[in-house]
Amino acid sequence: MKKVSTLLLLALLGVATVACKEDGEDTVTPIEQTTGVVELTGSITSDMTLKADKKYLLKGFVYVQAPAKLTIEPGTIIKGDKATKGSLIIERGAQIIARGTVDKPIVFTSNQAKGTRAAGDWGGLIILGKAPVNSGSSSAIEGGVDRLYGGSDAADNSGVLKYVRVEFAGIAYQPDNEINGITLGGVGSGTELDFVQVSFGGDDAFEWFGGTVNAKHLVAYKTVDDMFDTDNGYAGTVQYVVGISDPNVADGSKSNGFESDNNKAGDNAAPFTSAKFSNVSLFGPIATSGASVNSNYGSGIHFKKNTKISVYNSLIAGWPKGIYLDGAAVENGAKNNEFKFKSNVISGSTRALNLASNSTFDITAWFANNTNMQKAANSDVKVDGSFKQSGAPTFLPGSGSELLSGASFEGVTGFETVAYRGAFGTTDWTAGWTNFDPNNTEY
């Protein structure tokens, strides 16, 4: 009777309500009709749709529990509360259907006022699935969330993220226990991940903990830590990826374009981290030789702890270290052709090829034998506009750039075949749905 009376009173007062579940109890959150903001708290246990004509605020950890499906209409704005580390967690067996459009992307962003937003204003988006991982199916995802990920269903379907932006998310819940802009734990290949931008993240932009989900058209913009992080057996296929650095902002743990390991132990746990990437452009902090940059920047790609990811037809531009093969296990993987690094270009790096101290591996021969190429300056491949720090970068390589040809997909499956190296040929697929100045956007 108490709940009915509360609902009746709210109705008489002309205030709309939304019901969620938390710890098995119904909770009722008023919607301020004057602002149209719906507060989401606790757990969502039945199908729910977020409407584009309202705005939503995540307060604390909001869980979508199996078998619930959370559908988000194109153009919907969801904000994260700073004080409570607002975050959205899609649990194993639940789904998120966030299918935006070029003209109406779905936006997860800060609840802070225009002009005052910053990296780490809220938690982030976490999606958990039942696909294989090498850390065991009873692993809890990072970030203080206390939810499990992984399983045996490689084709598991956690839903859709398409034409979606995630802005100002990512927090260090505890040291070495962070929430990223988007965290993917054991997410399966039945999930669709396409046209997704993570901007101004307080930790990594994208991190895959195992799983088999494939992805295309990903943007990491000015994140504090790594742009793309792969570990715990991630084995998907990813094509058309771009990352852009802020030369003044980097993490004490070293900020990289890619950071990849098999797992924290660097052992032979299966499945191996063996994702395949093609047509990637990683724009580091060094636009021109001698530029002043944060000393905590690391490598364009840091291969470490027995990773076996492969990278094809990509550009690593403007990093203190171009690529870093870190340790005997990684070197052995290169020698034994257990991972591939082919038809790539490194430009404008202080030192393009790097090994652990005392290594005797001939990285120069390995690099050259796999049809890779070095260029002294970023201007040599005509990508100067991609380092632009205000407004939208100019991503398309200049006329006559060697990046516009030279791609090879010989012996490689799972990718679209294109002629160009790097993320862009003659079409800018970021047009229309991305935002490179969200701090000054009125949401």
38-69, pLDDT tens digit by residue?
A: 999 999 999 999 999 999 999 999 999 999 99
| Residue 23, domain member (yes or no) | no
pLDDT at 138: 78
Q: What residue numbers bound the domain in which 266 lies?
A: 39-434
Q: How far is CA 281 from the centre of its chain?
A: 14
Task: Confirm if 177 and 143 have CB atoms less than 8 A apart.
Answer: yes
Per the structure, how many domains does the chain have? 1
CA 134 to chain centre: 20
pLDDT at position 177: 78
Q: Phi/psi class of residue 405: alpha, beta or left (left: φ > 0; alpha: ψ in -120 to 50)?
A: beta
| DSSP E strands, 222-314 | 228-231, 237-244, 258-260, 276-283, 299-304, 310-312
Which is nearest to 191 in space by CA: 261, 278, 90, 80?
Answer: 90
Q: What is the pLDDT of residue 175?
A: 67
d(CA 438, CA 431): 15
Q: Please give the structure tokens belonging to residue 57.
A: 């605020």
Cβ count near 264 (within 10 Å): 11
Dump pLDDT digits (tens) for 90-126: 999 999 999 999 999 999 999 999 999 999 999 999 9
443 in a structural domain: no
Please report whether residue 225 resides in a domain.
yes
Per the domain annotation, does 379 fall within a domain?
A: yes
The span from the first CA to the last CA of the chain, in angstroms, equals 39
Q: Report pLDDT for 35.
A: 64
Structure tokens at 231: 């570990």
Q: Kindly state whether residue 15 falls inside one of the protein's structural domains.
A: no
Residue closest to 349 by CA, chosen among 436, 414, 284 = 284
Evaluate whether 280 touches 256 at the Cβ level (below 8 Å).
no
The first and second tokens of residue 12, run together, are: 């008489």
Identify the sign of the CA torsion 323, 326, 328, 329: negative
Of the candidates 223, 214, 209, 335, which has an alpha carbon nearest to the alpha carbon of residue 260?
A: 209
Global pTM reads 0.93
At 287 the pLDDT is 97
Whether residue 18 is contained in a domain is answered as: no
Average pLDDT, 10 consecutive residues per value, the chain (443 residues): 35 37 38 70 98 97 98 98 97 98 98 97 98 91 93 98 98 79 98 98 97 98 98 98 98 96 97 98 96 96 98 98 98 96 98 96 98 98 95 96 98 97 98 98 96
Sign of CA dihedral 363, 368, 373, 376: positive
Strand partners, 182: 125, 206
The confidence score (pLDDT) of residue 32 equals 43
d(C-alpha 251, C-alpha 225), whole Å: 5
The answer to whether the beta carbons of residues 235 and 277 sit under 8 Å apart is no
> Is residue 442 in a domain?
no
pLDDT of res. 178: 84
Q: Specify if 391 maps to a domain.
A: yes
